[in-house]
Amino acid sequence: MTFLSPFAFALLSLAAPLLLLYFLKVRRRERTVSSVLLWESTPRDRQASTAFERFQRDPLLILQLLALLALALALARPTASVLGHGARKVVVVLDTSASMKATDVAPSRFAVAKKAARALVDRLSLGAEVMVIEAGVNPRVSAPLSRDHDRAATALAGAQAHDVPSRLAEAVRTARALTADDPHAEIQVFTDGTHPPAEGDGLGDPRIRWHGVGRRSDNVGITSFAIRKDYFSSFEYQAFLSLVNFGKTERSFAFTLELDGKTLAAKSLTLGPDVRRAMVVPFGNQGGGVVTARLDVTDDLVADNVAYAVLPPPRKIAVLLVTPGNLFLEKELRTDPQVSLQLRPPDAYGGGMEGFDVVVLDSVNPPRIGRGRYVLVNSAPGDVPDEVIERALAEAGATGLAGLDTVLARGYPGGTDLSGGQWQRIALARALCAVQLGAGLVLLDEPTAQLDVRGEAEIFDRILAATRRTTTILISHRFSTVRHADRICVLEHGKVVELGTHEELIAAGGRYRTMFELQASRFGDDGEPGASLDVLD
Amino acid sequence: MASRTVQEFFTPEFLARLERLSLVSRRPFRGRLTGERKSPRKGQSVEFFDYRPYGVGDDLRYVDWNIFGRLERLHVKLFLDEEDLRVHLLVDASASMGVGGKLAYAARLAAALGFVALVSLERVGAVLLRDRVAQAWPAARGRRHFVTLLEFLSRARADGATGLNRALESYAIGSREPGVAVVLSDLLDPAGFERGLRALVERRFDVHVLHVLAREDVDPPFGGDLRLRDSETAERREVTLDADGLQAYRLRLQRFLDGAERFCRSHEIGYRRVVSDTSIEQFVLSELKEVMLA
């Protein structure tokens, strides 16, 4: 035996002061009392006789000396060199994926793998070091590298298979990393081989030994299951399933789809070997619930014979109908089972969404509606002064088309309809009005498509003047409209082809310039009116 | 000089109040009965006490002839003589009395009692006790002796070992005139005090014990690791005085005090305990007034 830090024995010299301390007596103050008759010596006071006698009587000192000795010994780091075998290192990688639960070998693949791994650990000589890695979704070292075989055995006994896919390659990589390039190391992998790692993962490492468990792969399973809502009806659903027969033989089995125990569909199916089948099962349901898809089949893996999906309970759309009385609108809304309707007379409505999903305003002019989801029927926001509207109409060239209170639909009493160009002017007037009232972004999608060219140029100048302080996104085929923009983006087949100002793009001589010149030649340089045709269609 | 000593000890008001008091003896002393012994104070008033059959040698003057006329038997009258009282002031002057000013307190207490006795014309003697009777002030009567009594008591120094038993025994035997004996002591004697007090009682003294304690005997003002030195035997004892130790001390002290009091009660000895920081005036005028003074 040798000591790595023999200097630690210097600590033993502390014994001397320790002993000295024991020679010290409590220094006592002397007091004169009337009589010591009433005083008794405290029993913990010891009368000193010989030093040796005192030590004998003092187990505390003995204990302290022993503690000091132990401390010094520990700090001196005694080491013993023993001749032994070259350290054999064994890393046990145990596949814990769902397929290990298969019962083609009794009692299950996992139990068999555990047993084999245990046998391997038990066979190891005493000097060998063992490590256990469980290969689940993430590799987990459940017993670090040590000679403690019992610990490895405990880790193996405690391992459990989970309903997860395996990342065996990762676990093997971990094992290789932990053993570095030690040639004595062995990596023993216990798996059923359902998720074979790719060749690039260093699996050619000669230190890896594969132990396969499982004889056959006789399994029919549900590999995907989803429930989707029908587009057209709120209470119609479709269940999407994929079923796969992994086995080598044709299998016939019963398939059931249940909602909270109530059978939605039952079918007898036959799947050939290695056949995947997708199924769509439509069903109707008015509430939430748990949908269970079940295969009544006896195979090696039970876990994938059942699948579940949860239907959230549908939420109704809260609609507030503010109307002085409109039987048709009310009836219409009430027929939709998804709508929970609440009626309110106009004088009880103070504006705002009031927590509803949709507010329908019928023949109501609320003072202010703000942001939200509104359906305005025969209504106009009442907070816009008439002169603002008049001015916006004038700027859009729509003055005198109709009175401000005229309903622009033929169905209403006194209602009238407008032509396409007139509608466009009205729409522009509305946008201008919004700008006037503080809108920060104006989106104009072909705003002048139905206007004649002369009218267009005139109106467009007005729009530009009115929207000077707002961001305006203008979508147009007409280059005469576009050229006023600060930044032009040319789109072709859904992709941005060119980007820049009119001058830049003309100078660039690309797609924009070609089209601009083509279009301009139609009208002539002097802007003489011609047919208002879209060049690019 | 003399009057200054007096004033150092007592205020004039206190003396004036003492003057109106006198000592009470709880028993008439044997040998004071008229006819048994020749009284040194003839002509003093005589109080009838009892009858007794005539015996040969009785003074014929005391035969009650009215009784003889009725019963034709001779009886002599017995009288309780109002003889003066002999007062013994026994002050413990051992070294332990020096701790905490007990001796000075005892001396003042003795002086106060002596003053009361002298003023009421009792015969007062005082002695200092150590391991035996150390010093004595011869018995005297009359107010004029108060100054010398005071000087005797104020000169007392606490010194030497106690031998209360021996000192009291020898005093009891040596005293020819038993009377009221007031023992002023802390009773802290390794050999005990019971035998000495019993000797006084057996000699028919009317014994009072004024148990004087110092404040530091009752509440030790020290703590921690101590070496305690006995003031008399110079014996040393090492103690570590913490809350438990203090508690134990108090318990032992209480047992000692209770034992002393029980002993006195069972031997018809008057017992009063006083801590030396009590005012003398208060102690004498309120506590002693009920038992010794009237």
DSSP assignment of B103-136 equals HHHHHHHHHHHHHHHHHTT-EEEEEEESSSEEEE
8 Å CB contact of A31 and B186: no
Tokens standing for A333? Answer: 């809304």
| Helix or strand holding residue A337 (H, E) | none
In A, minimum Cα distance to B220 occurs at A33
Weakest-pLDDT range from A316-320, B43-47, B257-261: B43-47
Query: What's the pLDDT at A234?
Result: 67
8 Å CB contact of A39 and B238: no
Does B186 reach chain A within 8 Å, measured CB to CB?
A: yes
Weakest-pLDDT range from A23-32, A158-167, A261-270: A23-32
DSSP class of residue B144 equals G
What's the average model confidence in pLDDT over A34-43?
75
Rounded Cα distance between A29 and A537, Å, is 116
Q: Is the pLDDT of residue B32 over 60?
A: no
How many CA atoms does the CB half-sphere of A338 hold within 13 Å? 12
Q: Is the pLDDT of residue B197 over 80?
A: yes
Query: What's the pLDDT at A194?
Result: 64
What angle in degrees, to the nearest 10, is found between the helix axes of A453-466 and A386-395?
140
8 Å CB contact of A33 and B239: no
Tokens standing for B36? Answer: 């048994």
pTM value surpassing 0.80:
no
Tokens standing for B73? Answer: 């038997």
Chain A partners within 8 Å of B250 (Cβ): none
- Residue A47: partners with Cβ closer than 8 Å, 6 or more residues away: none
- Residue A127: partners with Cβ closer than 8 Å, 6 or more residues away: A84, A85, A87, A88, A147
Looking at chain A, the whole-number percentage of residues with pLDDT higher than 90 is 1
Chain A partners within 8 Å of B233 (Cβ): 36
Chain B partners within 8 Å of A37 (Cβ): 188, 190, 256
Q: Is the pLDDT of residue B72 over 90?
A: no
Q: Where on the phi/psi map is residue A457: left (φ > 0), alpha (ψ -120 to 50), or beta? A: alpha
Q: Is residue A158 a contact partner of residue A152, using CB atoms and an 8 Å limit? A: no
Q: Is residue A309 a contact partner of residue A226, using CB atoms and an 8 Å limit? A: yes
Query: What's the pLDDT at A83?
Result: 59
Query: What's the pLDDT at A25?
Result: 66
Residue-wise pLDDT tens digits, A393-405: 887 777 877 777 7
What is the phi/psi pair of residue B197, to 5°? -65, -40
What's the average model confidence in pLDDT over A31-60?
66
Nearest to A33 among B224, B228, B240 (CB): B228
Query: What's the pLDDT at A522?
Result: 65
Q: Is the pLDDT of residue A167 over 80?
A: no
Q: Is residue B102 a contact partner of residue B186, using CB atoms and an 8 Å limit? A: yes
Does B291 reach chain A within 8 Å, measured CB to CB?
A: no
Rounded Cα distance between A261 and A244, Å, is 24
What's the average model confidence in pLDDT over B254-281?
91
What's the average model confidence in pLDDT over A287-315?
82
The H helix count followed by the E strand count for chain A is 13, 23
DSSP class of residue B276 equals T
8 Å CB contact of B252 and A27: no
8 Å CB contact of A37 and B228: no
Nearest to A38 among B214, B229, B253 (CB): B253
- Return the exposure string of A299-334: e unless at least 16 CB atoms fall within 10 Å of the residue's CB, then b: bbbeebbebebebeeeeeebbbbbbeebeebbeebe
Chain A partners within 8 Å of B222 (Cβ): 29, 31
Q: Is the pLDDT of residue A259 over 80?
A: yes
What's the average model confidence in pLDDT over A110-126?
85
Nearest to B226 among A28, A37, A38 (CB): A28
Instruction: Place B261 in a pLDDT band, splitting at 50, 70 and 90.
Output: very high
Q: Is the pLDDT of residue B293 over 80?
A: no
Weakest-pLDDT range from A22-26, A217-221, A353-357, A460-464: A22-26
Does B250 reach chain A within 8 Å, measured CB to CB?
A: no
Instruction: Place B33 in a pLDDT band, splitting at 50, 70 and 90.
Output: very low
Q: Is the pLDDT of residue B81 over 50?
A: yes
Does A40 reach chain B within 8 Å, measured CB to CB?
A: yes
A236 DSSP β-pair partners: A284
Q: Is residue A245 a contact partner of residue A283, using CB atoms and an 8 Å limit? A: no
In B, minimum Cα distance to A34 occurs at B96
In A, minimum Cα distance to B100 occurs at A34
What's the average model confidence in pLDDT over B130-148?
88
Residue-wise pLDDT tens digits, A430-457: 888 877 777 777 878 877 777 776 777 7
* CA distances in angstroms from B30 to A203, B63, B203, listed in the order given: 129, 21, 10
How many CA atoms does the CB half-sphere of B35 hold within 13 Å? 21
* Total CB pairs under 8 A between chain A and B: 89
Query: What's the pLDDT at B281?
Result: 87
- From the list A158, A126, A163, the residue with the least C-alpha distance to A142 is A158
Q: Is residue A303 a contact partner of residue A343, using CB atoms and an 8 Å limit? A: no
Residue-wise pLDDT tens digits, B16-27: 888 888 777 666
What's the average model confidence in pLDDT over B237-264?
88
Task: Residue A390: count other Cβ atoms within 10 Å of its Cβ.
Answer: 14
Q: Is the pLDDT of residue A113 over 70?
A: yes
Q: Is the pLDDT of residue A45 over 50?
A: no
Query: What's the pLDDT at A203?
Result: 62
Classify residue B292 by burial, with Cβ atoms within 10 Å: 0-12, 13-18, 19+.
Answer: buried
The H helix count followed by the E strand count for chain B is 11, 10
Q: Is the pLDDT of residue A77 over 90?
A: no
Instruction: Place B47 in a pLDDT band, splitting at 50, 70 and 90.
Output: low
Q: Is the pLDDT of residue B167 over 50?
A: yes
Q: Is the pLDDT of residue A48 over 60?
A: no
Q: Is the pLDDT of residue A313 over 80?
A: no
- Residue B35: partners with Cβ closer than 8 Å, 6 or more residues away: B58, B59, B62, B76, B78, B79
- Best residue in A42, A44, A46 to probe B by mutation, most B CBs within 10 Å? A42
In B, minimum Cα distance to A32 occurs at B229
8 Å CB contact of A45 and B248: no
Instruction: Place B214 in a pLDDT band, splitting at 50, 70 and 90.
Output: very high
Chain B partners within 8 Å of A45 (Cβ): 238-240
Nearest Cα of chain A lies from the Cα of B167 at a distance, in angstroms, of 18
DSSP class of residue B286 equals I
What angle in degrees, to the nearest 10, is found between the helix axes of B146-154 and B102-119?
170
Q: Which residue has the higher pLDDT, A180 or B99?
A: B99
Classify residue B226 by burial, with Cβ atoms within 10 Å: 0-12, 13-18, 19+.
Answer: buried
The total number of residues written for chain B in this structure: 294
Tokens standing for A499? Answer: 């980007």
Q: Is the pLDDT of residue A501 over 70?
A: yes
Q: Is residue A154 a contact partner of residue A126, using CB atoms and an 8 Å limit? A: no
| Helix or strand holding residue A161 (H, E) | none
Query: What's the pLDDT at A534?
Result: 41
Mean pLDDT across chain A: 78
- From the list A398, A370, A371, A403, the residue with the least C-alpha distance to A386 is A403
8 Å CB contact of A31 and B228: yes
Chain B partners within 8 Å of A25 (Cβ): none
Q: Where on the phi/psi map is residue A314: left (φ > 0), alpha (ψ -120 to 50), or beta? A: beta
- From the list B120, A329, B73, the residue with the least C-alpha distance to A344 is A329
Nearest to B217 among A26, A28, A34 (CB): A34
Residue-wise pLDDT tens digits, A452-480: 767 777 777 777 777 777 888 888 877 77
Chain A partners within 8 Å of B235 (Cβ): 36
Does A39 reach chain B within 8 Å, measured CB to CB?
A: yes
Mean pLDDT across chain B: 82
Which among A125-129, B23-27, B64-68 has the top mean pLDDT? B64-68
Q: Which residue has the higher pLDDT, A380 or B244?
A: B244
In B, minimum Cα distance to A28 occurs at B226
In A, minimum Cα distance to B250 occurs at A38
Query: What's the pLDDT at B271?
Result: 92
Weakest-pLDDT range from A83-92, A254-263, A334-343: A83-92
Does A43 reach chain B within 8 Å, measured CB to CB?
A: no
Rounded Cα distance between A457 and A138, Å, is 67
Rounded Cα distance between B177 and B195, Å, is 20
Which among A237-246, A456-465, B192-201 has the top mean pLDDT? B192-201
Q: Is the pLDDT of residue B138 over 50?
A: yes
Looking at chain A, the whole-number percentage of residues with pLDDT higher than 70 is 86
Rounded Cα distance between A263 and A259, Å, is 6
In B, minimum Cα distance to A41 occurs at B239
Query: What's the pLDDT at B212?
Result: 94
